[in-house]
Structure 1
Amino acid sequence: MPPRLPPLTDEELPDSVRPILERWPYRLHRTLAHAPDTLVAWLPWAEHVLLKNAMPARERELAILRVAVNARCDYEWGLHARLSRQLGVAEDDIARVPHGPDAAGWDADDAAILRAVDEMMADSRVSDATWAVLAARWSRQQLVDLLYVTGQFMTVALLLNSLGVQPEDGVPGLPAGFGRD
Structure 2
Amino acid sequence: MTRVAPLAPPWSDEDATGINGWGHPDRTYEPLLLVRCLQRHPNLAARLRKLGESLYVDARLPPRLRTIAILRICALVRCEYEWGGQAAFWGPIAGVSNDECDALVTGDDPGWSPFERVLIAAVDEIESTGSLSEETWKALGDSLDDEQRMELLIAIGWYRTICTLCNGMALPVEGWMRRWPSA
| TM value normalised by structure 1 | 0.87
Q: Distance between the aligned counterparts of 1:165 and 1:95, measured in 2?
A: 20
Does 1:97 find its partner at 2:104? yes
Q: Which amino acid aligns with 1:84?
A: G
Q: Which amino acid aligns with 1:10?
A: P
The question of whether the paired residues in 1 share the 8 Å contact of 2:18 and 2:39 is answered with: no
Q: Distance between the aligned counterparts of 2:84 and 2:96, measured in 1?
A: 14
Displacement of 1:37 = 1.3
Q: Distance between the aligned counterparts of 1:154 and 1:50, measured in 2?
A: 16
Aligned pair count reads: 174
Task: Pick closer, same or farther for the CA change 1:136–1:59 going to 2, 3 Å.
Answer: same
Q: Which amino acid aligns with 1:170?
A: W
Match of 1:77 among 65, 83, 87: 83
Identity %: 28
What residue ranges of structure 1 are gaps of 5+ in the alignment? none
- The residue number in structure 1 matching 2:19 is 21
The question of whether the paired residues in 2 share the 8 Å contact of 1:96 and 1:103 is answered with: yes
Displacement of 1:55 = 0.5
Q: How does 1:113-152 map to 2 (within 5 A)?
A: 113-152=119-158
RMSD: 1.8
Q: How does 1:37-116 map to 2 (within 5 A)?
A: 37-82=43-88, 83-100=90-107, 103=109, 105-116=111-122
The question of whether the paired residues in 1 share the 8 Å contact of 2:66 and 2:152 is answered with: yes
The question of whether the paired residues in 1 share the 8 Å contact of 2:118 and 2:139 is answered with: yes
Deviates more, 1:13-22 or 1:134-143: 13-22
Q: Distance between the aligned counterparts of 1:119 and 1:33, measured in 2?
A: 33
Displacement of 1:51 = 3.7
Q: Distance between the aligned counterparts of 2:150 and 2:97, measured in 1?
A: 25
Q: Distance between the aligned counterparts of 2:127 and 2:6, measured in 1?
A: 28
Displacement of 1:23 = 3.2
Q: Which amino acid aligns with 1:66?
A: R
- The residue number in structure 1 matching 2:174 is 168
Displacement of 1:15 = 4.3
Matched residue SS, 2:19: helix
Matched residue SS, 1:3: coil
Matched residue SS, 1:72: coil
Displacement of 1:92 = 3.2
Q: Distance between the aligned counterparts of 1:162 and 1:126, measured in 2?
A: 26
Matched residue SS, 2:171: coil
Task: Pick closer, same or farther for the CA change 1:33–1:174 going to 2, 3 Å.
Answer: same
Q: Distance between the aligned counterparts of 1:16 and 1:126, measured in 2?
A: 41
